[in-house]
Amino acid sequence: MFAIECASAYRGNSDVMTRPTDSASSDSAGRNEWPKPLKAETHELSFFYGHRQVLKRVSVPIAESNITALIGPSGCGKSTFLRCFNRMHDLYPGTRYEGAIVLHPDSRNVLGREVDPIEVRMRLAMVFQKPNPFPKSVYENVAYGLRVRGVRDRRVIDEKVEQALRSAALWEEVKDQLSALGTSLSGGQQQRLCIARALATDPELLLLDEPTSALDPIATGNIEELLQDLKRRVTILIVTHNMQQAARISDWTAFMYVGELVEFGPTKRLFTTPAKKQTEDYITGRFG
Amino acid sequence: MIRRRKIAEALFKLLSLSALALAIGTLVLLFGALMVDGLGRLDWQFLTSFPSRRASQAGILPAMVGSTLVMLVTACVGIPIGVAAGIYLEEYARRTWLTELIEVTVTNLAGVPSIIFGLLALGLFVYTLGLGPSILTAGLTLALLILPVVIVTTREAIRAIPVHIREAAFALGATKWQTVSDHVLPYSAAGILTGVILALSRAIGETAPIVTIGALTFIAFLPPAPVTSQPPYVSFEWLMSPFTVVPIQMFAWVSRPGEDFAANAAAAGLLLVGMTLVMNGLAIYVRYRMRKRVSW
């Protein structure tokens, strides 16, 4: 019910959308320091597996050309939150969203009933926790997003593939083995291949779900460096259970706990002077 | 105390070893007897001759051609339908009591005695549809027979594909069909093919349903050729031709008195075992080759 009301109320009306001013919880989200301009934002996003509510009215802004990090202990719903953005939950029965996720500049509510999940997934790209290249060639892995969109022109695909592999800092390593299996690369290379695959279709927003948790420190460092370069061109939303990572790479941080947003703010401020006791306890390692 | 337990262990080991020896030994003995009886008869003349009243002049040609053509029809009908049904059940069907029921039914169908399929075919294909005791009828019957096996192996092969591969495709904006045709099917092809070949190798030895639909036991001609000299150059007349298959030919020879025909039967048996072995070998090879390429 609520989702539909939101959808109709906010579609094409971005002024109303940018500053929801309600309830006592507004301070915790630190609305006075919300970023601008926004690439996307969630408005009181709730999510249910069957009757179990996993997300509770989460409102987070995603600043354009910035890195926004989601931190929190395991099971706090941060991955679930991320997967709402490209409607991955639609693949499984018994899931339900409430609230809205608005993509700017066209203020499209991703969760709107009239919105096809495929339309959303064409605009956003996702990188998963475990590197998951297709058991196809490196080239075909990167080209697949274009093929899905019906691109046939060989030259266009060649160009896009090279561009994406360069953006993912992988080109130099694989340019002579584009026909090798993507699954034959090392773990770190595989994850960069997945990033290249995600970038090949020029997404507006790049969703990363703990992209370095399966990698060694060196590969992790490479990818963190890569994300710093990428954020100039694409807005990034990253889930991480590694607080140091969030502190190192992100511009904005949202701290979630058991399905709720505890605190949102600029990364520097949140890690130095957290407004909430819970946040402080978490980042100082007292729990989680 | 320990000694008693050790003795129990040794006894059990002996017991299971002798069980194994019994099983393998019987098989070896059976195959050996077949070799001794039949190997002498298995020559070019035998492969290229028609059945005859004289055992030494009889051959297996029409039965071989019949088996091949029936298998062709079975494969052409059974594989696409079975694979498509498996894909539907695994990828598209929503989990309801109806799909559960269908699943249970399909699994159970795989265990239904094959002669029941023959009875069904006799009523449906031979009489109701008027196809007669033809190659087409036999092919369709065996297609029905292998359908459950094909469906089950297809589903198992599809289920072996990890969720994260599927999600990767969906996250790139692929539709369900794009995901299935670009990923699910190619990656599960090895498993599906293996299952299909094994199902076909079971079907090639089926006798009961073929007898039920009224295959001939003595046939002295080949079906019409599929390629003709006049336009349109292709003919499907062979589909409606009477036929026999190797196991039936073998049975016909077994039931005749005299040493000579027994040798013919043994030779036909060798041929049948050989064909089955070749198909099983092919299945293993295909699985080995394709598994090497697909991994995650």
Map residue A201 onto helix, strand or coil.
coil
B288 and B195 part of one domain: yes
Is some CB atom of chain B closer than 8 A to the CB atom of A194? yes
For residue A208 the two structure tokens come to 């990363």
Closest Cα in chain B, distance from residue A287 (Å): 30
Three-class DSSP category at B145? helix
Tell me, what's the pLDDT at A202? 92
Question: B193 and B173 share a domain?
Answer: yes
pLDDT for A78 equals 92
Same domain, yes or no, for B52 and B136?
A: yes
CA distance A130 to A187: 9
Does one domain contain both B164 and B62?
yes
Kindly state the tokens that stand for B126: 């031979």
Give the pLDDT band of residue A32 (cuts 50, 70, 90).
low
Nearest to B235 by CA among B67, B69, B47, B78: B69
Per-residue pLDDT of B89-100, as tens digits, reads: 998 888 889 989
Shared-domain flag, residues B70 and B213: yes
Compare B48 and A25 and report the one with higher pLDDT.
B48
Of A57, A62, A20, the closest CA to residue A252 belongs to A62
Partners of A79 in beta bridges: none
* Cα B112 to Cα B99: distance, rounded to the nearest angstrom: 20
pLDDT of residue A56: 94
Structure tokens at A270: 């949140």
Listed range (A9-13, A86-90, B186-190) with the worst mean pLDDT: A9-13
Measured in angstroms, the CA of A159 and the nearest CA of chain B are apart by 19
Are B264 and B136 in the same domain? Answer: yes
User: Are B134 and B115 in a shared domain?
Assistant: yes
> What's the pLDDT score for residue A21?
41
Nearest to A61 by CA among A97, A24, A101: A101
Same domain, B90 and B231: yes
- How far apart are alpha carbons A98 and A5 in whole angstroms? 10
What CATH number is associated with residue B156? 1.10.3720.10
**pLDDT at residue A288 in the model:** 60
Mean pLDDT (chain B) is: 88
B173 vs A contacts (CB less than 8 Å)? 118, 121-122, 145, 148-149, 201
Look at residue A116 and give its three-state secondary structure. coil
From A125, A130, A145, residue closest to B164, measured CB to CB: A130
Domain span at B5: 1-38
The reply to whether residue A134 touches residue B178, judged by beta carbons under 8 angstroms, is no
* pLDDT tier for residue B1 given thresholds of 50, 70 and 90: confident
Residues B53 and B29 in one domain: no
Measured CA to CA in angstroms, residue B177 lies from A260, B169, B184, B185 at distances of: 36, 11, 9, 10
Strand A235-239 to A205-209 pairing:
parallel
CA distance A17 to A38: 11
Rounded Cα–Cα distance for residues A37 and A104 (Å): 9
Total of domains in chain B? 2
Q: What angle, 0 to 180 degrees and rounded to 10, lies between the N-to-C axes of helices B135-159 and B185-203?
A: 140
H helical segments located in A76-200: 78-85, 117-123, 138-148, 154-167, 171-174, 187-199
The percent of residues above 90 in pLDDT, for chain A, comes to 70
A30 — pLDDT class (breaks 50, 70, 90): low
**Could you give the CA distance from residue B125 to residue B133 in angstroms, rounded to a whole number?**
9
Nearest to A118 among B162, B173, B187 (CB): B173
pLDDT at residue number A31:
59
| Structural element, H or E, at residue B243 | none
Give bridge partners of residue A238 from the DSSP assignment: A69, A208
pLDDT above 90 covers a percentage of chain B that reads 42
B112 and B21 part of one domain: no
Alpha helices (runs of H) in A1-123, residue ranges in sequence order: 2-10, 14-18, 78-85, 117-123
Q: What is the ipTM of this complex?
A: 0.85
Q: d(Cα B158, Cα B183) in Å, to the nearest integer? A: 10
Tell whether A150 lies on the interface with B, counting CB pairs under 8 A.
no
Contact (Cβ atoms closer than 8 angstroms) between residue A61 and residue B144: no
For chain A, domains (ranges, CATH) are 2-283 (3.40.50.300)
CA pair distance B150, B192, nearest whole angstrom: 7
Average pLDDT over residues B198-214: 89
Would you give the end-to-end CA distance of chain B in angstroms? 50
- Size of chain B, expressed as the number of residues it contains: 296
A239-284 pLDDT tens trace:
998 889 999 999 999 999 999 999 999 999 999 999 999 999 998 8
Please give the pLDDT value at position A147. 94
The pLDDT confidence band at residue B264, using thresholds 50, 70 and 90, is confident
- On whether the CB atoms of residues A177 and A186 are closer than 8 A, the answer is no
Q: What is the pLDDT of residue A2?
A: 42
Q: Does A145 touch chain B (CB under 8 A)?
A: yes
CA distance B179 to chain A (A): 9
Q: Read off the pLDDT of each residue in A17-34 and give the average, rounded to a whole number.
A: 48
* Preceding omega of B232 cis (within 30 degrees of 0): yes
Q: Using 50, 70 and 90 to split pLDDT, how confident is the model at A26?
A: very low
Give per-residue pLDDT as tens, B155-165.
999 999 999 99
pLDDT attached to residue B230 = 73
| Chain B residues near any Cβ of chain A (below 8 Å) | 94-95, 162, 164-175, 178, 182-183, 187, 293-296
**Could you tell me if B71 and B113 lie in one domain?**
yes
Q: What is the pLDDT of residue B254?
A: 86
Give me the amino acid identity at B172.
L
Is it the case that residue A174 has pLDDT exceeding 90? yes
CB-based contact, A214 to chain B, within 8 Å:
no
Structure tokens at A215: 């990698």
B220 pLDDT higher than 80? no
Q: Are residues B80 and B27 in the same domain?
A: no
Query: Would the pLDDT of A4 be above 50?
Result: no
Taking an 8 Å cut-off on Cβ atoms, the answer to whether A132 and B165 are in contact is: yes
Q: How far is A278 from chain B (nearest CA, A)?
A: 33
